[in-house]
Amino acid sequence: MSSRRTYNASGSLRTLAVGSWECGVGSWELTAIPGRVKAARYNTKMQEIIRQLLSELGENPSREGLLDTPKRVENSLRFLTSGYQADVDAVLNDALFSVDYNEMVIVKDIDFYSMCEHHLLPFFGKCHVAYIPDGRVVGLSKIPRVVEIFARRLQVQERLTNQIAATILEKVKPIGVGVVLEARHLCMSMRGVEKQNSVAVTSAMLGTFRSDARTRSEFLELLRRPSQG
């Protein structure tokens, strides 16, 4: 093992083999860096696991550039999977309004980012949502919020598409719902088949969008039209 100048918990300088001390819920290490003392604290189980992962990849998690990586990766993963803690009812319940309107409502080109559950790599693209009200509508901004709640989870595109459609059908209770997702998957672009220009398209048609071919065709035709603005 290599030696390194380190500071112990009391702040005194000594030389010892590179390592870490167990400390409550995690471990911590103080590493002497020219001109300052840098502390790497691993206060959660996830951070310690990420540190071990870096070691398994052949890296030195104690070097300067990686000292805060476990904390950064945990924060990133917590954000990218924040949909698990989101409450659909809290988003939608105050945004349902009685309106005498029974034509199609479309919110298209909703940007989304999600994580493939197979490789933990991102997939991202556009989501298009349509529904036909049955006496009430939902605030337009809430549809992207629903997309966000389910996208910010470990996903496969097919399930994500179905969850968005099923949630709008259950909560808004329209005559029908149509959802189309178009996405690029980094697990296909940067590994595996390495097809950088491929796009996956999925759809979910419920209610009148499934039973009435004219409604379905109208929705798909409107998606082909260029967006304005």
Report pLDDT digits (tens) over 129-164: 999 999 999 999 999 999 999 999 999 999 999 999
- Domain of residue 152 covers 87-224
Global pTM reads 0.80
Are 71 and 124 part of one and the same domain?
no
pLDDT number for residue 41? 55
Of 88, 108, 94, whose CA–CA distance to 139 is shortest?
94
Are 35 and 130 part of one and the same domain?
no
What is the pLDDT averaged over residues 202-222?
98
How many folded domains does the chain comprise?
2
pLDDT tens digits for 176-197? 999 999 999 998 878 777 777 8
pLDDT tens digits for 69-120? 999 999 999 999 999 999 999 999 899 999 999 999 999 999 999 999 999 9
Domain-located, residue 188: yes
Domain-located, residue 229: no
Of 125, 133, 73, whose CA–CA distance to 106 is shortest?
133
Instruction: Write out the catalytic residue numbers.
Output: 116-119, 157, 185, 187
pLDDT tens digits for 115-126? 999 999 999 999
